[in-house]
Structure 1
C-alpha cells in the first residue's frame, strides 16, 4: 500500500527552508576542514607511490587482445542510524543494517596506452561531490598521474536502502529524513571509493576481456506505463522495458577469473519505503550471489542502464496506478528481507549464465572523452535531434533546454511508494488546446484540484511570487513549475551564488576495443534510452564501435530524463525531468558530438569545471555537527534472549542487547584508531556462530542477507542508553547448536575526556532441529 507520510505543512516548510537556507560561501564552520580526512590516507602518498613503482615491470606492449586489468572492492557502509533513508522521505530515519555497502572498482589499461577506472558504488545517487572528492583523494595519494576526472567513472546502483546526506547541493540534503550534510558519511564513501580504485590499479595483471549480451525476462515492469504510452513509437517495441543485459567478463591470460560488470536497468526498490535498514537491495544481493558463487576474490559489479521508469516489483492486478507489489506482498510467507534476494537472484543468475557463455573477445585500444555541459544555459537543440518526436503545439525552431525546475507532477508520487501522494499522476500539468486553429496553453491551477493539492493551490501564488517562478513557465510548457532549483532568482537572494542542484553536468564515453560505454547523471526512461542508442549508435558504428552500453547514474545526479511525449504526460518522472521538454533531444545531441569526437580521434570540448563546494556546507546533520551522545548502560547485557530451539528451515531468531551507538565504530575506523579495539578489515557488528566441539565457528556476519541489526535509542533523543536487536532468518541451515554474538564499542565521557570501551554480548546457546 502506498504510504502518504508527507503532510501539507511539511511541503510548505520545505519551500521556506529552501528560501532561507541555501549553501552560503561566506559561512565558516566545521566544513572548512571537510576534506581534511579525504586528503589523508591510511597509506601515505609515498608508500602508495612505491606501490606504483613496483609495477614498472608490467608490459608496455602485448597482443591486441591482452589488456592489464585489476579489480577490488572496499566497504563504504556509512552511518546507518539517525541518517536519511534512500527514499528521501522527510522525517524517516534509518535505524539498522541488513547488508553492507561496497565500492567495486575495475581498472582497465592498454599496455603502453590509456587506462580507465570503472567503479560501481552501492549508493542511492552518485553525487558530483563524491566524484570530485575521489579524484582529489587519488591525487593526494600519489595516483594523479594515473587517474583524473576524464578517465574515471563512478556509478551508483540507485539503491533506495542506502543512507544519503552527502551531496554538496541543497535540494538533495533537504528532501531527507535528516536535513543537512554528513561529513563522516561523505569521507567514508570518498576514501573507500578511492581505495578501491587504488587497490584495483595495484592488482593489474595481463587479462582478456569478453563482451556479451543477453535477455532477462520477467524481472522488470514499467511503473509509468501511462506516460510510456504517449510515445509515438511505442508500437515499434514488444516490451515497455528494456530487458537487455550487457556484460564485460574479465579473466587473466592464465584463465583465472577476475570479475564482471553487468549492466541492467531496474530500480533499487525491492525494499519499500518502510524499510529502515541499510542494504544493497537487489543489485547488492546480485553482487553477493555472484561473488559468493565464484569465490577467490571475484568482483561482480551491477551498475544501471535505463532505470527511470523500471521497477523490479509487479503492478497491482486490480489497478496499475496503485502501489506495485513486492515479493512479500504476493507471498506472505516471505520476510521483507527476502525481497532483494528474490529480485537479485534473477540478475545474479543471468549474469553467471552470460559470463559462462561470453565468447566475443575485445581487441584494440582504450579511449575516453569527457565533457561538462551547462544545461541551465538553454542548450539550443537542432531539429535533427528532435525529428518527429514532438507534440502538435511545438515549433520547429527555437527549442532549448530550460533552467532546472521541479514540476507539480511529482506531487502525485509513483508506484514504488514515493513519499507524496497529493494527486493522480498526470493531473497536475498545463494543457494545450486548439482554439480557432491555434494551439493555446492553459495553465494548470491547483485551485481546481481537490484535497491536499487544493489547499496547496491557495498558497502557491504567494510562494510563486517569492520564488519568481512564473518566468520559467514558458520554457517548461506542460510542466506546472513548482520549484525553480537551477538558479536562485528571487528577492530573497539578490546575489545568488549556488543553485539547489548541479547545473554543470558530466557526459562521458569510455571505449574498450569495439565497445563504447555512454555514462550520464540522469535516470533515463526506457524510451529515452532507446532513442539515444539509435542515434548515437549510428555515429559510433561509423567508427567501428559495434557494442554500445547505455550506463546511467554516473559521476553526478540530475534527476529524471523522459522523452518529449512522456514529459508532456507529466507523471512523476516528467515532473522531475528538470531541464524541460527537450532534455532527451539535447542529451542525444551532446552525446552525438562527443561520439563524433571519439570516432574522429579529436579532443572533446571539456566545458567548465563544476564548482568545488566542500567549504560551503553550512547545513550539516546534527550528528555530523555535534557528534555522538554519550553512551550509557551495562553494554552487551542480554535483555531478551534466544529460545531453546528453532526449526532449521523457517524460524526467526531474535535477541535484544543493551547497546551503544553504532556510529562509534565508523568514527574510529575513519580516524584510523579502530585497530586499537578490532581489526578494521574484519569487524562485524554481529556474528551467528555454530558450535563445533568446544569451539565456535562464525557462519554469518552483518553482511549476510539473512541477518539484521536494529538500533533504537531508549529514554528520549538525548538519552545515553540504547538497545540493539539482532535478527537471523533461518533458511535451511544445518542442524546443530548456535549462538548470537554482538560486538560493540561504546563512547563515554569521563571527567574531561572521552573514553572508549570494547564489549561483547552473547546469547544463550540454542538448537536448530
Structure 2
C-alpha cells in the first residue's frame, strides 16, 4: 500500500467537497489528454457597492478555466475554475452550472466542476448568498452576481472550444497522500498568528522547517509539441496585500501574479486576451499573510507608535485597532507590496515551469459529495458515536487579524465576553 501511495499525486482542490485527482508514475512517457484553457472577465460594478471596494478600478477580475478530458473518452472530464473572487460561493456555483448545462447539455455538472476563489479581499461585493456578507454589503447586488456567472461561463466556452490534444506535467513534485512537495517560494507569506502556531505540540512543529507552508505545486499544460499553453499553480497566501482601507477593485496579489505571467508569455496581447492562461490558485491559506515585514503599531503620538504589536494578542497599548501588517513595499504603498508579492509568486511559477517536470498519466475522474456538517454522525476510534454541531463564531473572531483588525476592543486569543457581543448575540438569537 505504501508503494502505491508513493505513486499517486493528489492535487486536491475543494469546493463543497469537490475532489479532482491526477495520477502519475515516475518515470513514464507523457500521456495525451484533451486540454482546454480560457479566460473570462468577471468584473462587476466598480462603484457604489460598499464592500469589498467601491470607488474605482486597479485591475480587472477574471475567471481562468482549466479543462482536462480523456483523449479516448472525452466525456470523462474535469473543469477547474479559478475565480478572482473572495471565495467560491455556492450561489455562484449553481448559477455557473445552470448556464453550462443549458449551453452544453449533459457535459458539465456538480460532479465534475470545481469553482474556487483566489480569496482576494478587494473585489466587487454583493454576490455572496449568506447572511453575514450580505449585511456588510447592505444587500445582494445582482449586477455583480451576473458579471461573475457570465464571465465564468465565457471562460468555459473558450476552454471548451480550445480543447486540443496535449500533455500535463507536474512541477518538481514528489507526491504521496501525505505530502506534495513542489518548489519552495520564500518571501511571499508569513504566519500572522505565530504565537498560536507555537501552541502546537513540539512534536508536531518539529516536522516542518517553517511555521507556514512555503511550497508551490504547479501543473503545466502542454500542446502536442511540448510547448506550454498555460499552468495551474497552488500556493498559500491571503489576498490582503491591499489594505482594508483600499477602495479600488483589484485581484490583489494572485490577480497580479496571473497578469504578470500572462503578459510575460504574450507581451503583445492585451491583458485578459492571451491564449496562455496562468492560474494562481489558493491553497491551505489558514493564517498566511502577504504582509511579510510583520505587524506594527500605527499610533501617532503614542509611545508604542512604530513598535511591533504585542506578540500574543496583536494589540497596541491594549487595543487591536492600530495593529497593522506591513508588506514588503509598505514604505511606498500597499500597491507596491501587492506588486512584489505578485512578482514573487510569478517568478516561483516560472522557475517550476522551466524546471524538471514529471509527466501526469492515468484516467480522469472526479468525485463530489454533499455533507450536512451541522449534524454529521461518525464513530471515533474508541467506538463511541458522536455528532457535529452547528457552526458558531467566538467573540475573538470580531478582532479580525493583523491584515485587517476589527473594532470595539475585541482582541485576538481573548476568551471573555463583552457587553457589545452579548447584545449582538441576543439579537441574532431572535432571528
CA deviations on 1:78-120 (whole Å, 9 max, x unpaired) are 111111333xxxxxx5111010110100111111331111110
Alpha-carbon shift at residue 240 of structure 1 (Å): 1.0
1:733-761 per-residue CA deviation (whole Å, 9 max, x = no partner) reads xxxxxxxxxxxxxxxxxxxxxxxxxxxxx
Partner of 2:227: 256
The normalised TM-score by structure 2 is 0.79
Question: Contact 2:183/2:215 (CA < 8 Å) preserved in 1?
Answer: yes
Distance 1:101 1:367 in 2: 29
The question of whether the paired residues in 1 share the 8 Å contact of 2:230 and 2:278 is answered with yes
The answer to whether residue 134 in structure 2 is matched with residue 133 in structure 1 is no
2:318 corresponds to: none
Cα distance in 2 between the residues matched to 1:403 and 1:243? 33
Instruction: Give the superposition deviation at 1:457.
Output: 5.8
Structure 1 gaps, min length 5: 1-62, 87-92, 385-395, 430-443, 447-452, 469-489, 493-769
Normalised to the residue count of structure 1, the TM-score between the two structures is 0.45
* Residue 66, structure 1, aligned to residue 32, structure 2: yes
Q: What does residue range 589-608 of structure 1 map to in structure 2 within 5 Å?
A: none
SS state of the match for residue 351, structure 1?
helix
What root-mean-square deviation, in Å, do the aligned CA atoms of Structure 1 and Structure 2 show?
A: 2.0
Number of aligned positions between the proteins: 359
- Do structure 1's residue 307 and structure 2's residue 305 form an aligned pair? no
Residues of 2 paired with 1:67 and 1:265: CA distance?
28
Matched, 1:424 2:384: no
Q: Which has the higher contact order (CA 8 A, sep 6+)?
A: 2
Equivalent residues of 2:83, 2:118 under 8 A apart: yes
Which residue of structure 1 lines up, in the alignment, with residue 43 of structure 2?
77
Tell me which residue corresponds to 1:337: 335
Question: 1:612-664, CA deviations, whole angstroms, 9 ceiling, x for partnerless residues?
Answer: xxxxxxxxxxxxxxxxxxxxxxxxxxxxxxxxxxxxxxxxxxxxxxxxxxxxx
- Superposition deviation, residue 198 in structure 1: 1.7
SS at match of 2:68: strand
Question: Equivalent residue for 1:355?
Answer: 353
CA contact (8 A) 1:124 1:163 kept: no
Change (3 A) 1:249 1:457: closer
Cα deviations by residue, 1:13-71 (Å, 9 ceiling, x for unpaired): xxxxxxxxxxxxxxxxxxxxxxxxxxxxxxxxxxxxxxxxxxxxxxxxxx970001011
Determine whether 1:413 maps to 2:382: no
Distance 1:457 1:78 in 2: 34
Q: Residue 48 of structure 2 aligns to a residue in which SS? A: strand
In structure 2, stretches of 5+ residues that fail to align are: 1-28, 172-181, 267-273, 297-307, 315-322
Deviation at 1:380, TM superposition (A): 2.8
**In structure 1, what is the Cα distance between the partners aligned to 2:109 and 2:165?**
23
Instruction: Say whether residues 1:265 and 2:236 are aligned partners.
Output: yes
Q: 1:186 aligns with which of 128, 140, 145?
A: 145
CA distance, structure 2, for counterparts of residue 83 and residue 467 of structure 1: 25
Q: Which whole-Å deviations, capped at 9, do the CAs of 1:350-378 have from their partners, x for residues lacking one?
A: 10110011420111211111101111114
Deviations 1:421-441 (A, max 9, x none): 5232111x2xxxxxxxxxxxx
Give 1:224's aligned residue: 193
Q: 1:82 and 1:358, CA in 2 relative to 1: closer, same or farther beyond 3 A?
A: farther
Within-5 A mapping of 1:40-439: 65-86=31-52, 93-113=53-73, 114-141=76-103, 143-174=104-135, 176=136, 178-212=137-171, 213-232=182-201, 233-295=204-266, 297-314=275-292, 315-316=294-295, 318-319=308-309, 320=311, 321=314, 322-329=323-330, 332=331, 334-380=332-378, 382-383=380-381, 397=384, 399-420=386-407, 422-427=409-414, 429=415
Judged with a 3 Å threshold, the aligned counterparts in structure 2 of structure 1 residues 381 and 418 are, in CA distance, closer, same or farther, namely farther
Instruction: After TM superposition, give the deviation of residue 266 of structure 1 in Å.
Output: 0.3
CA distance in 2, matches of 1:421, 1:249: 47
Q: Deviations over 1:666-685 (max 9, x none)?
A: xxxxxxxxxxxxxxxxxxxx
In structure 2, the CA distance between the partners of 1:457 and 1:303, relative to structure 1 (3 Å rule), is: closer
Question: Residues 227 and 400 of structure 1: is their aligned pair in 2 closer, same or farther, counting only changes over 3 Å?
Answer: farther
Max radius of gyration: which structure?
1
Is this contact kept in 2: 1:248–1:260, CA < 8 A?
yes
Deviation per residue, 1:534-554 (Å, 9 max, x gap): xxxxxxxxxxxxxxxxxxxxx
Report the Cα offset of residue 257 of structure 1: 2.4
| Residue 324 of structure 1: how far off its partner (Å) | 1.3
